Amino acid sequence: MKKAHYNPKSLRWLISLIIMLVIGIAVVFGSSAVKKIADAKYNTPVDVDFTVAQTVPMSVEENDFNVTSVEKALDAQGNAVAYVIKSSQVGYNAEVPIELATTITADGSVICSVDVLKQEETEYLGVRIETDDFKNQFKGRKLPVVSSNSIEKGAKVDVIAKSTISSQAVIDGVNNATNYLNTFVLEK
């Protein structure tokens, strides 16, 4: 009878498995850390602090962004500090669009405020887009904004539970105002 002997090559598979596991874990945790660093750019609010002395109406170009009016906000020295863009966006109630006023810094990179001017969304649910809790999520956020459920790059905004259509309409309206500003105002 032949006696079994120790073969160091028989442990290669175990060492290979351990190395693959370590590399796999490093990739998972490393990519998660990189994503957090990239998202921090959008999700860390910026302090928006200026005083508006007056607003000046601007002409509105024909557009596909549903923008109805634009005003340039000026400080006491006459410098542009922001733009107020009024637009409409279809929400849950397709018959009556949501009307928004989105104020964006003069360089087009940060949201100063979002105001819901008119809406007739569902009672108790969609109407919550007018609450300060929802609207204040936008203040000081870098553009673009995206739903917290989205994997897209941008500042995450928590949608209102059971009112995602109305919430998404506001998010889309803010992004449309930004796109209008970048296309027709800042590019000139």
**Which pLDDT value is given to residue 46?**
83
pLDDT at 44: 78
Task: Give the pLDDT of residue 3.
Answer: 63
For residues 112 and 33, which has the higher predicted lDDT (pLDDT)? 112
Q: Are residues 26 and 77 in the same domain?
A: no
Within a domain: 66: yes
Give the tens place of pLDDT for each residue, 16-47. Answer: 888 999 998 888 888 777 777 767 777 778 88
Q: In what order do the strands lie in the sheet with 80-89?
A: 54-58, 67-74, 80-89, 98-105, 111-118
Instruction: Report pTM.
Output: 0.79
Indicate if 86 and 157 belong to the same structural domain: yes
Sign of CA dihedral 57, 128, 165, 178: positive
Return all residues near 158 (Cβ < 8 A) that are at least 6 apart: 137, 148
Same-domain check for residues 70 and 36: no
Q: Are residues 94 and 169 in the same domain?
A: yes
**Is 149 in the same domain as 80?**
yes
Mean pLDDT of all residues in 107-135: 94
Q: Report yes or no: 96 and 88 within 8 Å, Cβ to Cβ.
A: no
Give the mean pLDDT of 85-105: 96
What pLDDT, on the 0 to 100 scale, is given for residue 188? Answer: 62
Sorting pLDDT into bands at 50, 70 and 90, what band is 2? Answer: low
Range of the domain at 59: 54-185
3-state secondary structure (DSSP) of residue 103: strand
Q: 52-56, 83-87, 132-136, 152-156 — which is least confidently predicted?
A: 152-156
Count up the domains in the chain and report the number. Answer: 2
